[in-house]
Amino acid sequence: MKRITHGLLLSVALVGFSGLALANEFTDVIDAFDHEIQDPFDINLLVGYERFQRSATIAREWFDDDPPNWEYYNYKKMYKYKRVSHILNMELEVGVFRDLSFKFRLPLVLNDTRELTKHSDWDGSEWIDENGESIAAPPLLPSSFSSPERSGVDYLAFGLWWGILDQGRDDTKPNWTLYAEGRFSVGATLKASEADEERGGISRGVNELCFGTRLSRRYGILDPYFGIEALIGWAKTGTDYLIEGNKDGQLNKMPPVVGTLDFGIEIIPWELPERDVKIAAILGAQGKYHSEGRDYTPMFDILGTENHFTNNALDYDFNNDGTIDLLARDAEETWSGMTDVENYAAFVGKLMIMAQPAKYVKFHIGFLLGHETEHFITKTDQCRSENMGDDDICEIYNWGYRPELDKPGNRFRAQKTLLWTFLLDAVAMF
């Protein structure tokens, strides 16, 4: 027992005073051409498996009384949504010079399935119209829907990571890392389809820039960390984010901008720095803000294939003057199933275990559980404010607006959204 106690005390002491053993998993940047530690070149190769699941309840706005009170709507649950993705993550990190490294990432989607099943609160047929009367549901959506099984690559990522400060070099300083990553869309783009149709692609057709900063500071066996990240995307030409011929009328042409706040602590209960061996547990939390934007929603496939939308002309009398305005045209020319999404937040908890049994290999296993706040997944205006004329008549309509989806009282909403992720990977370090 004394030998075990002495061993633990020795391990803690080594953790507290060893220099280059202070790298945090969250802020670590590999070295190259580092004369201080005779390290000419470093390279890390990661291969991992990820299972991601999103589940939600899809509701529709509902008049709360009869006749309807236009100041307040209730929500009628329609669908239960479930998406499951199996992903093979591959990453290569190469030391460039001192604490600067280059990363290449390739997430390969092995299988992606999505389905909508009828909620027990919905009878599958009736709605309430704007006069408070019960009618057959417009649009006549089916009570269940299965998307095709998809696979492929959404994007390739290239990034630079820079360790500005390193506690291992100077124990009076924290670990401070800056990074920037470009994500470039590749492969076939997602197209709305049913289970028995062609699969189409998995790519969202979006290029993105991700950049952020991370901080950590080790105190004995505890290593708290903090990070801020921003993700900005823009649609590739020819994708469904951009409605052809409606440049000045379309409201949202970009996916949501995402801001992320990370914080947590790494706990190292056991470590042998002289042998590069350790075990660590990472407990963390994450807050994300998604701005309003245009996106693929849980209803993308069902709306993009439903005949009510793809075959009917957009011949709505927006001005209530008994005339058909210029928006009357074949819906197939502009309708893809994509919709504008309300801003929302997400909160994610993280638990990971890292085991490094030898100098050149380490393993991670992790679980993430998250929740998204309620938000509309069909929400846009028929006219941009700058396109309203002097008589409050729209001069250039938004062709992405559909009254059955976007008019108050008809909008669809995601509720009780849960996110589940399981991670398992191995890293070879040379």
DSSP string, 20-48: TT---TTT----BSBTTTTB---EEEEEE
Query: Could you tell me the pTM of the whole model?
Result: 0.87
pLDDT (tens digit, 0 to 9) for every residue of the chain, 430 residues total? 444 344 433 333 333 333 344 558 999 998 877 666 566 778 999 999 999 999 999 998 876 555 455 555 678 889 999 999 999 999 999 999 888 999 999 999 999 999 999 988 776 666 555 555 554 454 568 889 999 999 999 999 999 999 999 998 888 999 999 999 999 999 889 999 998 776 668 999 999 999 999 999 999 999 999 999 999 999 998 888 988 888 888 999 999 999 999 999 999 999 998 898 999 999 999 999 999 999 999 999 999 988 777 766 555 545 555 454 544 455 556 788 999 999 999 999 999 999 999 989 999 999 999 999 999 999 999 888 898 887 777 788 888 888 888 888 889 999 999 999 999 999 999 8
Sign of CA dihedral 34, 35, 40, 42: negative
Rounded distance between C-alpha atoms, residue 116 and residue 114, angstroms: 7
- Cβ atoms within 10 Å, residue 334: 17
Burial profile 54-86: b = 16 or more Cβ within 10 angstroms, e = fewer: bebbbbbbbbeeeebeeeebebbbbbbbbbebe
E-strand stretches of 252-343: 258-272, 277-290, 293-295, 339-341
Helix/strand/coil for 11: helix
Q: What burial letters (b/e) apply to 216-239, b meaning 16+ CB within 10 Å?
A: bbbeebebbbbbebebbbebeeeb
What type of residue is 257?
V
In the chain, % helix, strand, coil (3-state, to 5) comes to 10, 50, 40
The Cα–Cα gap between 99 and 27 comes to: 11
Residues pairing with 349 in the sheet: 285, 369
| d(C-alpha 303, C-alpha 82), whole Å | 16
**For 68, how many CA atoms within 13 A lie in the half-sphere containing its CB?**
19
* Closest to 88 measured CA to CA, from 159, 147, 185, 153: 153
In whole angstroms, what is the distance from residue 409 CA to residue 70 CA? 8
pLDDT computed for residue 127 by the predictor: 54
Instruction: Give the position of tokens 């209530």.
Output: 320
Q: Smallest Cα–Cα separation from 235: which of 244, 227, 226, 224?
A: 244
